[in-house]
Amino acid sequence: MITESYQSAKQSLAKTTEKLEVLAKANVVDAGGKGFVVFLEGMIEFFQHEEIKKILPTRNVVKFQSAEAESISHEEITYRFCTEAMLVGEKLDKAKLKEIIEPMGDSLVIAGSPTKLRIHIHTDDPSLLFEKINIIGDITFQKVDDMVMQQDVMENRKTNIAIMTDSTCDLPQELIEKHQIHVVPLSVHIGNTYFLDRLTLNADRFYKRFDSYKDRPTTAQPAFTSFSNKLSYLSTHYESTIGLHVSSAMSGTFSNAKRSAKSISWQMKKRIDIIDSKRLTGSLGLVLLRLAESLESGKYDHDELITMSNDWVAKSKLYASVTTLKYIVKSGRVNPMKGFIGNLLGVKPVISINDQGSSIQLEKSFTEMGSMKNVIKHVQELIKNNEFWGYAITHANNPATATWYEKELIKLTGEEPKFKNEVSPVMGANTGPGVVAVSFLLK
């Protein structure tokens, strides 16, 4: 019956080109109809080749009653991330693909043709999964949902105000989970494939392979729809949302978040405020962390948190030591001629962020240690007459220098950093390995 339905569906799909003028003009079929045909195709293949009796007892089944799903405990979520991908290429080997990724999770579905395959799997390591499937073909679509975070939002929500940011904040994952911070990833493009920052491409694997990439990695801001989907979800579960994002002077991320917030706020009748942090990496992370802790204290309402966040943005500082200018020059962030001369002379600058959210050069040295000492000098000047709330250290595959800073700053301040973390791939794509940033947030 399904096979016969499939044949009828294919015939109907072919006729959709004639049904609408816009489809006829573009000479394409209806997208929804095409999706349904592919769905039937996958069902037929499953019935023909899979052992249904063997699979049914081992599959996770979520039952729906009315509009709400039954509660699933963390123990019942066998793999954390619900992952989807679209692979394109020539002579895609479905059997080989299944052999590679089946041991990595459960709820596996592979459907499509030798030139295009759609994949669904629950896994604990999306980054490793996407690294493996990228060998089979180019990845043109990716989606990763954190099912544990989704469950926490439904059952163990800490507050009624959501905090949203993007993947340039460089907060450690344990702090993101602890404070239920919702992150919209930027993307990193390598060759014909793009990856979701920190989700399908983690920092460790990215930096290990950085110099072996044939094409220089490039980056892109989250799409308008990425923010719209996230904000629709948050507005369903929270009374209001505060978004704090990477400097608008460095990325269009803030602009897309702002436009999406206006649209979703009107649709959902919920308040959504988007703040330009004018910062990135550890300095953005510190403001987010302070916002989360203040929210959880229960002492402040939405308006007070907005006012305080803008004040904290102005009180956040970042100083970064750069080991080489060559990667920044390639990214277009520095004038090529200046970069050429700088590399020729072995210049290792200290970079900061001004009040407008743009990068500026504070100092230049001819040795890495000279640059590092200049950073410490600026920190000493900063805290000499100012009390600070905390500091953070972030680095691009340079743990040795990050540890040196940590020891020096503990001696100088008497305090441990709020966090120390590797910068995200989207940041490293523009700076290259070696950069270390020290960020402070004044009281």
Report whether pLDDT(333) > 60: no
Instruction: Please report the DSSP string for 351-403 in residue order.
Output: EEE-TTS-EEEEEEESSHHHHHHHHHHHHHHHHHS--EEEEEEEESS-HHHHH
pLDDT of 170-205, one tens digit each?
A: 999 999 999 999 999 999 999 888 899 999 999 998
Report whether pLDDT(341) > 70: no
When pLDDT is averaged across residues 21-48 and rounded to a whole number, the result is: 82
When pLDDT is averaged across residues 357-372 and rounded to a whole number, the result is: 89
Tabulate helix, strand, coil % of the chain (nearest 5).
50, 25, 25
Helix (H) or strand (E) holding 118: strand 116-123
Report whether pLDDT(344) > 90: no
430: domain CATH number? 3.30.1180.10
Asked whether residue 112 is assigned to any structural domain, the reply reads no
Report whether pLDDT(69) > 90: no
Q: Amino acid identity of 205?
A: R
Helix (H) or strand (E) holding 420: strand 419-422
Instruction: Give how many domains the chain has, as a whole number.
Output: 2
What domain range includes position 44?
Answer: 2-49
When pLDDT is averaged across residues 86-90 and rounded to a whole number, the result is: 93
Helix (H) or strand (E) holding 130: helix 126-136
Residue 16 · residue 23 · CB < 8 Å: yes
Asked whether residue 15 is assigned to any structural domain, the reply reads yes
When pLDDT is averaged across residues 250-279 and rounded to a whole number, the result is: 96
Q: Virtual CA dihedral for 13, 14, 15, 21, nearest 10 degrees?
A: 100
Q: Give 49's contacts (C-beta < 8 A, 6+ positions apart).
A: none
Asked whether residue 42 is assigned to any structural domain, the reply reads yes
Average pLDDT value over all residues in the chain:
88
When pLDDT is averaged across residues 262-277 and rounded to a whole number, the result is: 97
Give 395's strand partners: 422, 436
**Mean pLDDT lowest among 46-60, 154-168, 339-353, 426-440:** 46-60
Quote the pLDDT of residue 76. Answer: 65
Asked whether residue 295 is assigned to any structural domain, the reply reads no
Report whether pLDDT(325) > 80: no
Cα 142 to Cα 195: distance, rounded to the nearest angstrom: 7
When pLDDT is averaged across residues 73-78 and rounded to a whole number, the result is: 62
pLDDT of 224-240, one tens digit each?
A: 999 999 999 999 999 99
Burial of residue 438, with CB atoms counted within 10 A of its CB: 0-12 exposed, 13-18 middle, 19 or more buried? buried
Please provide the distance, in angstroms rounded to a whole number, between the alpha carbons at the two ends of the chain.
Answer: 70
Asked whether residue 341 is assigned to any structural domain, the reply reads yes
Quote the pLDDT of residue 336. Answer: 47
When pLDDT is averaged across residues 304-314 and rounded to a whole number, the result is: 98
pLDDT of 379-395, one tens digit each?
A: 999 999 999 999 999 99
Percentage with pLDDT > 70 across the chain = 89
Whole-number Cα distances in Å, 307 to 51, 160, 300, 321, 355: 59, 18, 10, 31, 17
The neighbour count for residue 113, using CB atoms within 10 Å, is 12
pLDDT of 390-423, one tens digit each?
A: 999 999 999 999 999 999 999 999 999 999 999 9
The neighbour count for residue 21, using CB atoms within 10 Å, is 8
Using pLDDT thresholds of 50, 70 and 90, give the confidence band for residue 368. Answer: confident
Cα 321 to Cα 434: distance, rounded to the nearest angstrom: 8
DSSP 70: P
Quote the pLDDT of residue 77. Answer: 77
- pTM equals 0.80
Place of tokens 């803008």: 310
When pLDDT is averaged across residues 300-321 and rounded to a whole number, the result is: 97
